[in-house]
Structure 1
Amino acid sequence: MPADLIVSRTLAVPASELHERFSRSSGPGGQGVNTTDSRVELSFDVAGSPSIPHHLRHRMLCALRNRLTGGVLTVTASEHRAQLQNRAAARERMARLLRDAAAAPPPTRRATRPTRGSKERRIAEKKRRGQTKQGRRAGWDSS
């Protein structure tokens, strides 16, 4: 029996809410490629899960809206030849997606004005640059 999926210190998804499906993976695999079901599809019902707190559910649904199908988040893993490694990869990918979706949004940026010193430095640099270019212009004789 697989263990619960630990998303963060405060959020864990019970193993009973995760659904795994196995199928044949494409790509190299030697003699066992046509007989082993090493590809893993891990699904979790974000919209209907009782383990997600109510205050996080809306934030997670908004963050994952492009990846959800009917409120269900599905992750596939087929990069390894062994089913056990693909199961671990799918669980890690699912945990990372849920962790990122549950994270608080970054603070909004407060607009600030440039300081007086930064304005003066910018103007001084523009004047210096103009002097350099003017010096390049003045030195040509046409004789």
Structure 2
Amino acid sequence: MPGPLIVTASVTIPEAELSWRFSRSSGPGGQGVNTTDSRAELTYDVAATTALPPALKARALTRLAARLVDGAITIAASEYRSQLRNREAAEMRLAQLLREAIAPPPRKRRPTKPSRGAVEHRLATKRHRSALKRLRRADD
């Protein structure tokens, strides 16, 4: 369980940069929910990290700007009864979030226009529908 968090093949976050906090969960657990600190909160300081190259760090900071508090992102997990499972869930969510944040932007769409045949077919279909509706009309 403890160890570095692998985000991609080239990006690994050392355990020292991850900060954990545990508290009582409001989720499942029966009577044990009142005594067990099973809710896990994982905090990762994106702004101060050394695990991300400068270009990826800038991209992550831009894309996660709405979720960052003082340059850090916090993930809370309380859907499981055990602290261990909640820790794993928080790590998985953080890894997925960072994967999406550092992904390269999608390629620009190359503008295209419909072929002449497609345009003619569309207009012919419109003329046909128009003629059908004209025939259905009652003459006044």
Q: TM-score range by the shorter chain?
A: over 0.9
Gaps of 5+ in 1: none
Pairing 1:60-99 to 2, within 5 Å after superposition: 60-99=60-99
**Counterpart mapping for 1:38-49 below 5 A:** 38-49=38-49
Indicate the percent of aligned positions where both proteins have the same amino acid: 54
1:4-58 deviations in whole A, cap 9, x for unaligned?
1110111110111101100001134222111110000001110110111111111
Distance 2:137 2:8 in 1: 64
| SS across alignment from 1:43 | strand
Residue 7 of structure 1: aligned partner: 7
Following the alignment from structure 2 to structure 1, what is the Cα–Cα distance between the partners of residues 86 and 68? 21
Q: Output the CA distance in 1 between the equivalents of 2:28 and 2:10.
A: 40
Name the larger-Rg structure.
Answer: 1
Report if the CA contact (8 A) 2:28-2:80 is conserved.
no
Whole-Å separation in 2 of the counterparts to 1:44 and 1:27:
24
Residue deviations 1:58-97, cap 9 Å, x none? 1000110011000001100001111011000000000000
1:30 aligned partner: 30
Match of 2:130 in 1: 130
Structure 1 runs (4+) greater than 4 angstroms displaced: none
- Count of equivalent residues: 140
TM-score (norm. length: structure 2): 0.94
Q: Structure 1 CA distance, aligned partners of 2:121 and 2:22?
A: 64
| Alpha-carbon RMSD | 1.5
TM-score (norm 1): 0.92
Please give the secondary structure, in 1, of the residue aligned with 2:137. helix
Distance in 2 between residues matched to 1:136 and 1:54, nearest whole Å: 68
Contact 2:79–2:86 under 8 Å retained in 1: yes
